[in-house]
Structure 1
């Protein structure tokens, strides 16, 4: 994970992504591979957090096929027959899987017409049977990938503020 100025003419994003993807090591492998580089990454993460309050992760390690399959899973869900989707429609926002239109339909002064689904899968994965079959597997896989990325970012942020690597991850 490296802070890169993507405006530089010499930056070849596609080549960088391809090279990273071919390592099959993910962000954790990239970070663990080089301690000197890791120190630089920790410093850059710390500076970005302090200066900006946020950071953008490029080359995050979530495989492109997982991202594409996630998009395809969302499309599969929304393209189902209305009768099939109706079984998932709810305004009960404590359910693990929620399909709704305009979550703030009755409270907002204006209506933003959109359909949405939300799946509460982390930190404890639900029984897979309560997720729609058309996107179940990819929801779980994508969540695992994002959780791994989150753990790595927590490690880097912990070290950037001179704490043990697991400090933020281990907080309740």
Structure 2
């Protein structure tokens, strides 16, 4: 191990220690990301940036389009087991993605149109 290897290792340890301290300080504020925005930050804090070498290749956004979770409500009221499966899918999509697409919801197109005009 050469001197530069030792220096690189020490720098990595110091960055890791500093990052842990920054994360703890952020958690201790209990203000969350909204608190950062309210404080007027103009740059994403380093604790939220994953170094390129640590990013999974699956995050390559140029290679493929997003496929949003789609939840089919057909038969939801007819079968309690299917009802539970759909509820689980909604919970999973909400927790993982934060949103999802619903099909076979039986909301008339006219109502959807009015909703879009209202927003």
Which gives a bigger RCO, structure 1 or 2 (Cα 8 Å, sep 6+)? 1
TM-score greater than 0.5 by the shorter chain? no
TM normalised by structure 2 equals 0.31
The structure with the larger Rg is 2
The structure whose residues are more often helix, as a share, is 2
Normalising by structure 1, what TM-score? 0.22
